């Protein structure tokens, strides 16, 4: 069997097998040596010389409202809210990161993007199936199915930190803690500074008791100012008790809980301040009686307006509940005629499926509206009841001021006033202690704004990866072998021409 040969112009024959045998060392050693040298240099660049970026990702899901992602109070949400410089600076200072990274490098490494692992898996799954499908109808069906599943996914975001070379010394555990605290700080900052949750608790100080007092006024008016202070403090306590887990707060001192504080305020108002006002009003000057009557008249006008608003909510809610103005109330129709429809024969309406479907759609659409109306009606009823109690109190006070009787001694009233002011001051101070404990251990506004989807995950990003290194080495070896082979063939060809 003849060995492979090929003939050039002029009758010169080159033995390929002979060329390989004669130059086998060069064909193997030179490409291998070149590949080794390139591999050592590229490996050194891969391990020590190339810039390496460590990217950390924290996925979270905002608990926001609507497709445009608004806060509960209606303020628009922006991705830059989370990476606001004031938030990053607060977290930087709290964790004392100046030993690991400069403030500017730390702040410049963060950004937020709308992306999630579940979205990536869904895109990878349907992307390959859509590209592999040859039939247009099937591709369209898969695309619609992908869009439906995508719309069902919750909107998830990522807080991303790209660690630069200047922040290379930042430990991974510290970075994970820092990224979690950034979202927490965003929640607290949004609630406390911007009030986006519409749940901010007013902060009251004991000084408000002295600020509401005026020595030049009659004791009845001074006591009324103290009573208004107790009502304001009670409203704050009620707002706190409406929050989750607020009833579990317990501190040292008396009262030790918000519930006990509410009861203490009610005792102060109803058992001490209001009775003392009645005693001070007996035998008081006519100006006090006139003032009390004016307060009662003002409260009566306010009560009339509140009752009108409550009636309007009731009527609107009744209409959305399927009733109309002609609905019977207490045996009468809205038009005042009883049994008017009995003159006409009953008519059975013919309802087609389109009408039924439209009725269901309207019911679903109006469901949130009915809930809102019911909530507004409840608030109006509570406000009406509160104003009714206020009106009755001032009516009683006006009657006490107009009734002839012996006047309580001024010294006794002044002593009672000072005692009640001291009691109110102590209760407000205890409220501050309870709120501080609540803010520290219970209140979590961030839970109202977001939920974590996964822990912090980090990955190393290199421009030149180990896979790129292997590709480079194979390519270098191939081209080096090709160059040596061409060089060997050319050398043998020249020798063959010289022999011929």
Mean pLDDT of 290-319: 89
Residue 108: its pLDDT value, please? 92
Residue 134: its pLDDT value, please? 65
Confidence band for 345, pLDDT divided at 50, 70 and 90: very low
More confident residue, 326 or 383: 383
pLDDT at 265 over 90: yes
Residue 339: its pLDDT value, please? 40
With a pLDDT cut of 90, the percent of the chain lying above it is 33
Tens digit of each residue's pLDDT (9 = 90 or more) over 81-107 = 999 999 999 999 999 999 889 999 999
Confidence band for 68, pLDDT divided at 50, 70 and 90: low
Residue 397: its pLDDT value, please? 92
Low-confidence winner among 35-49, 121-135, 261-275, 478-492 (lowest mean pLDDT): 121-135
Which structural domains are found in the chain, ordered by start?
Answer: 5-48+464-499 (no CATH), 52-200+450-462 (3.30.1890), 207-324+371-444 (no CATH)
Residue 200: its pLDDT value, please? 63
Low-confidence winner among 63-77, 182-196, 371-385 (lowest mean pLDDT): 63-77
Residue 461: its pLDDT value, please? 72
CA nearest 73: which of 195, 163, 237, 213? 195
More confident residue, 212 or 309: 309
Low-confidence winner among 114-123, 293-302, 423-432, 466-475 (lowest mean pLDDT): 114-123
Low-confidence winner among 22-31, 61-70, 377-386 (lowest mean pLDDT): 61-70
pLDDT at 348 over 60: no
Residue 135: its pLDDT value, please? 76
The answer to whether 12 and 496 have CB atoms below 8 angstroms apart is yes
Average model confidence (pLDDT) across the chain: 81
With a pLDDT cut of 70, the percent of the chain lying above it is 82
Residue 342: its pLDDT value, please? 42
Residue 10: its pLDDT value, please? 52
pLDDT at 129 over 60: yes
Confidence band for 409, pLDDT divided at 50, 70 and 90: confident
Low-confidence winner among 194-198, 272-276, 308-312 (lowest mean pLDDT): 194-198
Confidence band for 14, pLDDT divided at 50, 70 and 90: low
Low-confidence winner among 192-201, 215-224, 480-489 (lowest mean pLDDT): 192-201
Residue 17: its pLDDT value, please? 77
More confident residue, 495 or 419: 419
Mean pLDDT of 192-214: 78
Residue 132: its pLDDT value, please? 75
CA nearest 290: which of 389, 401, 393? 401
Confidence band for 369, pLDDT divided at 50, 70 and 90: low
Confidence band for 1, pLDDT divided at 50, 70 and 90: very low
Residue 50: its pLDDT value, please? 78
């Amino acid at each position: 069997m003849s060995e492979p040969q090929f003939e050039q112009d002029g009758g010169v024959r080159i033995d390929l097998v002979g060329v390989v045998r004669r130059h086998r060392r060069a064909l193997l050693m030179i490409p291998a040596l070149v590949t080794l040298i390139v591999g050592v240099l590229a490996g050194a660049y891969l391990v020590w010389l190339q810039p390496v970026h460590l990217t950390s990702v924290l996925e979270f899901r905002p608990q926001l409202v609507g497709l445009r992602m608004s806060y509960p109070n209606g303020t628009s949400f922006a991705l830059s809210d989370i990476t606001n410089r004031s938030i990053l600076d607060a977290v930087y200072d709290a964790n004392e990161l100046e030993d690991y990274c400069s403030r500017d490098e730390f702040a410049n490494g963060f950004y937020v993007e709308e992306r999630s692992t579940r979205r990536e898996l869904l895109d990878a799954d349907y992307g390959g199936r859509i590209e592999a499908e040859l039939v247009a109808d099937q591709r369209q069906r898969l695309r619609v199915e992908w869009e439906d599943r995508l719309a069902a996914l919750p909107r998830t975001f990522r807080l991303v930190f790209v660690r630069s070379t200047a922040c290379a010394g930042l430990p991974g555990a510290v970075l994970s803690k820092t990224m979690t605290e950034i979202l927490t700080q965003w929640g607290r900052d949004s609630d406390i500074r911007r009030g986006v949750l519409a749940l901010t608790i007013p902060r009251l100080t004991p000084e408000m008791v002295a600020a509401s007092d005026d020595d030049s006024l009659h004791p009845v008016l001074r006591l009324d100012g103290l009573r208004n202070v107790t009502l304001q403090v009670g409203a704050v306590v009620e707002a706190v008790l409406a929050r989750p887990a607020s009833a579990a707060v317990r501190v040292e001192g008396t009262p030790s809980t918000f519930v006990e504080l509410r009861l203490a305020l009610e005792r102060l108002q109803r058992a001490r301040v209001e009775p003392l006002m009645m005693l001070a009003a007996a035998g008081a000057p006519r100006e006090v009686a006139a003032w009390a009557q004016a307060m009662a008249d003002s409260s009566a006008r306010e009560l009339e307006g509140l009752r009108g608003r409550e009636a309007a909510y009731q009527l609107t809610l009744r209409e959305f509940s399927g009733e109309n103005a002609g609905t019977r109330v207490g045996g009468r129709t809205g038009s005042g005629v009883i049994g008017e429809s009995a003159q006409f024969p009953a008519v059975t309406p013919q309802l087609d499926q389109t009408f039924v479907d439209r009725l269901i759609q309207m019911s679903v659409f109006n469901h949130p509206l009915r809930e809102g109306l019911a909530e507004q009606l409840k608030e109006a009823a509570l406000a009406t009841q509160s104003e009714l109690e206020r009106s009755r109190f001032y009516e009683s006070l006006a009657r006490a001021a107009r009734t002839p009787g012996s006047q309580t001694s001024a010294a006794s009233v002044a002593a009672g006033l000072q005692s009640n002011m001291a009691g109110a001051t102590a209760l407000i101070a205890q409220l501050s202690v309870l709120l501080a404990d609540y803010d520290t251990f219970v209140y979590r506004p961030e839970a109202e704004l977001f939920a974590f989807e996964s822990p912090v995950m980090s990955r190393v990003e290199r421009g030149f990866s180990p896979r790129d290194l292997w590709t480079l080495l194979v390519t270098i070896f191939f081209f080096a072998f090709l160059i040596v082979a061409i060089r060997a063939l050319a050398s043998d060809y020249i020798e063959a021409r010289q022999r011929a």
